[in-house]
Amino acid sequence: MAGGPRTIIDKLWDAHVITTREDGDCLLWVDRHFVHEGSHHGFGQLRQRGAPVARPDLTFGTADHYVATRKGAVLDADAARMVRQLTENCAAHGVTCFGEGDARQGIAHVVAPELGLTLPGLLIVCGDSHTSTHGALGAYAFGIGASEVAHVLMTQCIWQSRPRQLRMHIDGKLGAGIGAKDMALALIAKFGTGFAQGCAIEYSGSAVQGLSVEGRLTLCNLSIESGSRLGLVAPDEVTINYLRGRPFAPAGDDFERAAEDWLALASDRDAAFDQEISMNASEIAPVVTWGVSPEQAAPITSRVPDPATLTDATRADAWRDALDYMGLHAGQAIDTIKVDRVFIGSCTNSRIEDLRAAAAILKHRRSQVPGLVSPGSRQVKQQAEQEGLDRIFIAAGLEWGGPGCSMCVGMNGDIVPAGERCASTTNRNFKGRQGKGSRTHIMSPAMVAAAAVEGHLTDARKLMEGRAP
């Protein structure tokens, strides 16, 4: 690669290689390591070895998976222990922890960007698959397993094989009421959950450049659902403007010098990718999932597909199984599917832009079903309350909660009861994801809000006339 045109992925990789083994795997330096309640396994290995955290100044704890998000909720003993253990482990090793009660607490993938801990050019890891979110700011970010968490804690390095590279080029203009969540789901529905298996994706094109940083965070968050290792967007002026003044970002002249370096990360003009895919943003409609995989999704204006139309017997069986679990039938109009509750939150869609989009639909309207809105961080919660968004949600009949992963994964007790159908802004819809026997339809915040108002899946564009987030 030396001397030739390089992609942003090449540039980030090459800047972090410490050494290369005979098999080609590389030892990479880690700039940021985020740990949450599930990191207790890694800290446990440190205790067994009597080892310290190698770089506590580059390690940050966030309480998110197990924290209570409902007012007055009491965590069970195991969940409370997990939250407490994170705080204790971080304190024992001098690691900064945004734990319960901290004004900066929230979901790791929301907190780090808003604080400026996520910066272009950094290599970022976390024991959570949706760490790809941070790629929205031009970082090389990916999830790691429990044993790798321990390795990074002890060495601040990680072994990796160089990924194949895919450029996803999305040109054109998204229609009114259509956003990054629709873009991501449309990609996965069209190309499948394995189309980018093992790849690092660079998202490019005018439609991607037209997204806010918050939209890019949503797009990169869902990269992992395509089977990819990570997804990222090259830094541009939108990135620079977002980061300016963030607490952990450089300041003054240091920021201006850093910004020059960040902009230079863009892929060189003639840089080669292993694969390139294009999509026209103007063809994307609001998308919802109908099955138990993000690729089992379709425009809200369509019907539930028929497994009998497939020539692939294995895929047809998977569709039939999904329809059986979801209680749907082929040919059913998607916008007639009734819901029992709604959830707005998760590391995918819990930022202020997401809450504004949902509130624009819900203002002066009532939800037909119960639901929970969980902002992604205490800072997002505070801003939403300053803008009066919390009052809109409460007036609509929804519960205004606190920050955390909450009903996305249900580790804190917030679950969808068995047999119930939930319109959700989350990132996964496999069987039992939101609770045993739960049925999840994932979609954008505006689409969830529209489903709440109508009591069934519906095209949010019908409820948007004269309204703006």
Alpha carbons 43 and 154: distance in angstroms, whole number = 9
| Residue 468 near residue 458 (C-beta atoms within 8 A) | no
- Predicted confidence (pLDDT) at residue 1 exceeds the cutoff of 80: no
The dihedral sign for the CA sequence 208, 212, 216, 219: negative
| Residue 158 near residue 148 (C-beta atoms within 8 A) | yes
Residue 243: pLDDT band by 50, 70, 90 thresholds?
A: very high
Please list, in sequence order, all residues whose beta carbon lies within 8 angstroms of the beta carbon of residue 241, skipping any fewer than 6 positions away: none
User: What does the DSSP assignment read for 364-400?
Assistant: T---SS-EEE--SBHHHHHHHHHTTHHHHHHHTT-EE
Beta-bridge partner residues of 201: 166, 231
- Domains of the chain, first to last: 8-163+236-263 (3.30.499.10), 164-229+268-283 (3.40.1060.10), 287-463 (3.30.499.10)
| Residue 83 near residue 67 (C-beta atoms within 8 A) | yes
pLDDT of the residue at 2: 56
pLDDT of the residue at 72: 81
pLDDT of the residue at 332: 97
Angle at 184 (CA atoms; ends 179, 190), nearest 5 degrees: 125
pLDDT of the residue at 360: 97
Alpha carbons 324 and 327: distance in angstroms, whole number = 5
Residue 468: pLDDT band by 50, 70, 90 thresholds?
A: low
- Predicted confidence (pLDDT) at residue 134 exceeds the cutoff of 60: yes
SS3 143: strand
- Predicted confidence (pLDDT) at residue 267 exceeds the cutoff of 90: yes
Alpha carbons 166 and 42: distance in angstroms, whole number = 32
Alpha carbons 13 and 153: distance in angstroms, whole number = 20
- Predicted confidence (pLDDT) at residue 185 exceeds the cutoff of 60: yes
Confidence (pTM): 0.97
Which amino acid belongs to residue 120?
Answer: P
Residue 440: pLDDT band by 50, 70, 90 thresholds?
A: very high
| Residue 196 near residue 207 (C-beta atoms within 8 A) | no
Axis crossing angle, helix 40-49 with helix 146-155, rounded to the nearest 10: 50
Helices (H), ranges, 116-246: 146-155, 180-191, 206-209, 213-221, 237-243
Residue 194: pLDDT band by 50, 70, 90 thresholds?
A: confident
Residue 467: pLDDT band by 50, 70, 90 thresholds?
A: low
The dihedral sign for the CA sequence 59, 115, 229, 353: positive
- Predicted confidence (pLDDT) at residue 264 exceeds the cutoff of 70: yes
Q: What is the DSSP letter of 249?
A: S
Alpha carbons 416 and 451: distance in angstroms, whole number = 16
SS3 463: helix
Mean per-residue pLDDT of the chain: 96
- Predicted confidence (pLDDT) at residue 73 exceeds the cutoff of 80: yes
Alpha carbons 329 and 332: distance in angstroms, whole number = 6
At residue 12, φ and ψ (nearest 5 deg) are: -70, -45
The candidate with the shortest Cα–Cα distance to 167, out of 272, 42, 305, 300, is 272
User: What does the DSSP assignment read for 414-433?
Assistant: --PPTT-EEEE--S---TTT
pLDDT of the residue at 3: 74
pLDDT tens across 391-428, in order?
Answer: 999 999 999 999 999 999 988 989 999 999 999 999 99
Please list, in sequence order, all residues whose beta carbon lies within 8 angstroms of the beta carbon of residue 230, skipping any fewer than 6 positions away: 131, 132, 135, 140, 141, 142, 163, 200, 201, 220, 223, 224
**C-alpha radius of gyration, the chain, whole number:** 21
pLDDT tens across 362-397, in order?
Answer: 999 999 999 999 999 999 999 999 999 999 999 999
SS3 109: helix
pLDDT of the residue at 469: 63
